[in-house]
Structure formats: structure tokens, C-alpha cells
Structure 1
Amino acid sequence: MTEPAQEEKRRRIQSIETGFGLLKALVDTGKPMMLRDLATQAGMSSAKAHPYLVSFTNVGLVQQDSATGLYELGPFALQMGLVSLQSQNPLKVALPLVQALAPRIGHTLGLAVLGSHGPTMVHISEASYPVHVNMRCGTVMSMLHTATGHVFAAWLPAEVARHYIEREAGDSAVVTSISPLRPSPQELAALLAHIRQQGAAQALGNPLPGIDALSVPVFDHAGQIVLALTSLGPSTLFDASLNSPILAQLRQCAATISRQLGWRGATSADKP
């Protein structure tokens, strides 16, 4: 590629990039703002910000309350957001980030969605060392006995979680514990509340003895769980503690995916 052609490819309209700072400030703040506050957050003077806001108002990206003078995102910005959200595929958004994370973690890393039988693994990045675990694409994880299942059970609406918990009994498609013990409703409720509080689920030697796992939720724009990001490995190699560097990386990756899917609330990355 010749140098003029490269320069042509890099051409941009600087005023658009400058004005974008005002839109970003409105998005980051999430509430109507005075001109001076909006300009300050965008790193410009009120006199410089005003013409941009006039233009953004004219095309519907921004609107101003006539009574208070506050600026907020306009109707066209809302339409843009809705179209973007409707076209988002959580798995498509997540895969590049998970594939980039896998070699940094070095352990088996998987993504699960809620399938007809329960939480179902749809992507597996194998560990950098030989490990024999019964988790492949298509594997259905127990809601009662796996970290992945616990994440879905903790963040799904209670009636939905109950449906999957009840239907997994006797379902040969579900990977579950070798132990016949089943937690009582009270024990399960306490466990799920604890998982929500800590923002992650741990599985220590269950359902597979000698294998530990960590799992965190991924949310869509409405705060609904759409994916679980799970990593696992042998107890001798895998740090499944809540201050584990593995969990920190899982939290950050899940939070980034959630943000790209439009979620603006708290994520597991906000947990201690």
C-alpha cells in the first residue's frame, strides 16, 4: 500500500471525535447534566461544547429539557442503542475475549448458555497441560452440583431455576455429582445467596473428585444472565480461592463482555 493510500485510510473528521466526548459523558453519567458539568467531563469549555450540543439536538442524539436546561441523550440515540442491542449475539461478542483469555489462564476455559436440559457448554478452550475432565461442547452441567450450574441457579429468576433443578433428576444428559446427596431447599437458598454476594461460584472436587472450578455470570443489557464463564483444573494446580488470580481474570473478562452487551450495572468484577 502506498503512503498516500495509507494516509487516505487514516483520514478522519476531528470535530466528530471531539464532539463524541460529550455523548460519552452523557452515557457514562447516565443522567441529565448541566452544560457546564457536561463540558467539564468532556474536557472542554461550555462555549466550545454548546455548538456541538445544538447540532446533536438537531439530529436527535441529544435533547434538552426546556424547564431545567439539562441535557440528556435524545430519541435517535435511543433508537441506535436498541438496534445495536437487537443485533448483539452474546456468544459472538464473548468468543474473541474468551479465546484471548484462555492462554493467559492456562487452564480449561468454557462458556455455557442455558439450553433445553440446563446450562450447556458451547465453547471449550483446552488447558495447556493434559487434563481428563468430562466437559465437552454440548455437556449439560448440573444446576445443583457444578459451579456453572450454580451461577445460573443464582442469577436466573427463581421459578426458571426451579424448573431446571427439578427436571435434571434422572436426566442422563446432565453431568452431576457422584454423591446421591441433594441439598435441602434451605441449604440451596443459602448457597445461592452466598454466590450472589461473592459474585462467583466455586466447585471443590465436585462433581469430579480432584477437579476444582470457578464460574462467573455474564449479563445482557437488561441484567439477565446469558452466559457463564467457567474455568477448571486439578486441585493440585488450580487455585479456586476467591482471591485467586484466575478468578480475577474471569471476573474482568465477564465484566467486559457484559459491558459490550449493554449492561451498565454491577458485575462480578465489582465484588471484592
Structure 2
Amino acid sequence: MPKTKSPSYTAPALEKGLDIIELLSRQEVGLNQSEIARALGRSVGEIFRMLMVLQARGYVAQDPLSDRYALTTFIFEIAHRIPTIGRLTAVAEPLMRELTRKINQSAHLAILGDGGVLVVGQIDAPGNNIMSVRLGARIDTWQASSGRVIIAFRDEETVERLLAEEPLPKGMTKAQIREELAGIRASGSEIRDSFVIRGVVNIAAPVIDHSGEAIAALTVPHIERVNDQIGFEACKVAVIEAAANISRSLGWNGGEDG
């Protein structure tokens, strides 16, 4: 959830609508009208009017059996209309599909968002056994290979700000994280055990645009199958190559200017 500041101006009706959207974004199965009102400290009447407008505009939908309201995919569609994200995903998707077919592993594309890493692209492996991250998932910045790889290829001001703002992993210091970021930058990728699932190894590489800084990361949560046709090392090379191809399509010159 984005960090809030004390506003100079207020728009109560707009704030109520945004409060509902933000509340529902954290719910797996939605909430009914009374639950929403209780959670937000509002009257049922206030919430009813807001829900009717949000439903009419396509932001929320009501389950006719449970009467619960949940967000639709409309907000996600709007997010993809943002030129930078739209262009990024349009360029990346065919290359990601080619990659997942080649290595039989799932792949996702993530960017830095407010308060975490946001998954904006996801392609499942073509086989029966898959390991994937949900499209639209938000992950803690420092506990995601995607976030660490992006930050490793950003300016010092961004690194310093995120070290100050985002919660550090338990037992980790800023100095340790800086050392790891330097290693990622030196190698051009991050290969490490998953932060959350045993047996999964993250392969993450930066997606760099014309500015020379990372705007996203391509990550494969690699799982080892008994009859894999492509080995881990070949898989790693393919992921790094795919990220470089996406970068070149976004105007990156491959570091030719130094």
C-alpha cells in the first residue's frame, strides 16, 4: 500500500472510493457491504453509495451468492495503459514466451512499485509441473530477486532511499545488502535460493532501457525435474540472454557507451 502524506486538499468522496479499492486489493475472497463499512469505520449508507458507483464503473463486482464485493481486473488493465508499462510488457511478452518454451520453466517480469516489487508480466511453463508467481503480486523489495536486481542497476540516490524506506530482511544490515548489490552488478544477474520456497532457485536478470538503468527484472523461479531436457547452466544463460534482448528492444545499447 502506498505511503500516505497529510494532504493539502481533501476530497472526501474520492477518498472513500480509494479506501474501498485499497481495502479490497488485500482481500482474497472479497468483503460484503457491512464488513467494508466496519473495516473503514464508515456507515453502511456511505459505503453503499460508493460501491454502486465503483460497480457501475467496472472497478468492483458483487458475487450474487455471497454478496461479497471484489475488485475486477479493470484496475490492472488501467495500469497496463500507462505507456511505460504497456510498452515494457508488449516488448517482453513474446520474448518471455519463447524463453519459457525453450527452458520449460515459468518466468515473470517485475518492476519497483510503491512499497514493494510488482509483478506485471507472467508466463507459465508449457509442461505439467510449474512454479510461478501470480500476476499482480506485490513482494517485499529486499526479499525478491527481482527487486534486488533492479536496485543493483539503479543510481546511488535510489539505493540510499530504498535502504532507508523499505524494511530490511531479518538479520541483514545495510552494509551486507550493499555488498550483495555490488556482487549482482558485477555478475550481471542474481542466482540464489528462493526467499520463500525450498528447492527453488531464482535466476534474475535486469531489463535496462535507453537510460542505462534497470526498469524491470526478468526472473525464472527454477525447479529441477527428473527428466529436464535443459540443464541449469543452459537455463541461466537463456534467461540472461532473454533479458538482454528485451533491454535492446527498449533502446539499451549493451553498454557500448561505457
Q: By the TM > 0.5 criterion, same fold? A: yes
Q: CA deviation at 1:230?
A: 0.4
User: Which residue type is aligned with residue 254 of structure 2?
Assistant: G
User: Which residue type is aligned with residue 145 of structure 1?
Assistant: Q
Q: Deviations over 1:49-73 (max 9, x none)?
A: xxxxxxxxxxxxxxxxxxxxxxxxx
**C-alpha separation between the residues in 2 aligned to 1:237 and 1:159?**
45
User: Which residue type is aligned with residue 122 of structure 2?
Assistant: I
**C-alpha separation between the residues in 1 aligned to 2:131 and 2:89?**
25
User: Which residue type is aligned with residue 265 of structure 1?
Assistant: G
**C-alpha separation between the residues in 1 aligned to 2:227 and 2:147?**
19
**C-alpha separation between the residues in 1 aligned to 2:153 and 2:177?**
13
Aligned 8 A contact 1:119 1:152 in 2: no
Q: Specify the alignment match of 2:158 in structure 1.
A: 160
Q: Specify the alignment match of 1:208 in structure 2.
A: 197
State the percentage of identical aligned residues: 27
**C-alpha separation between the residues in 2 aligned to 1:204 and 1:236?**
16
Aligned 8 A contact 1:206 1:212 in 2: no
Give the TM-score taking structure 1 as reference length: 0.55
Aligned 8 A contact 1:141 1:148 in 2: no
**C-alpha separation between the residues in 2 aligned to 1:237 and 1:92?**
34
Q: Deviations over 1:146-199 (max 9, x none)?
A: 2112102211223323434444439xxxxxxxxx63321221111111111110
Q: Which structure's CA Rg is the greater one?
A: 1
Is 1:266 matched up with 2:255? yes
Is 1:252 matched up with 2:250? no
Aligned 8 A contact 1:156 1:225 in 2: yes
Q: Specify the alignment match of 1:27 in structure 2.
A: none
Gaps of 5+ in 1: 1-85, 171-179, 268-272
Q: Specify the alignment match of 2:143 in structure 1.
A: 145
- The change in CA–CA distance for 1:181 and 1:263 in structure 2 (over 3 A counts) is same
- SS of residue matched to 2:135: coil
Q: CA deviation at 1:207?
A: 2.6
Gaps of 5+ in 2: 1-83
- SS of residue matched to 1:207: coil
Is 1:101 matched up with 2:90? no
What pairs up with 1:1-272 in 2 under 5 angstroms? 89-127=87-125, 128-131=127-130, 135-169=133-167, 181-234=170-223, 244-266=233-255
Q: Deviations over 1:112-158 (max 9, x none)?
A: 1222222211111113233455x211112333222112102211223
| CA RMSD between the two structures | 3.0
Q: Specify the alignment match of 1:70 in structure 2.
A: none
**C-alpha separation between the residues in 1 aligned to 2:92 and 2:194?**
27
Aligned 8 A contact 1:152 1:161 in 2: no
Report the count of equivalent residues: 170
**C-alpha separation between the residues in 2 aligned to 1:161 and 1:216?**
17
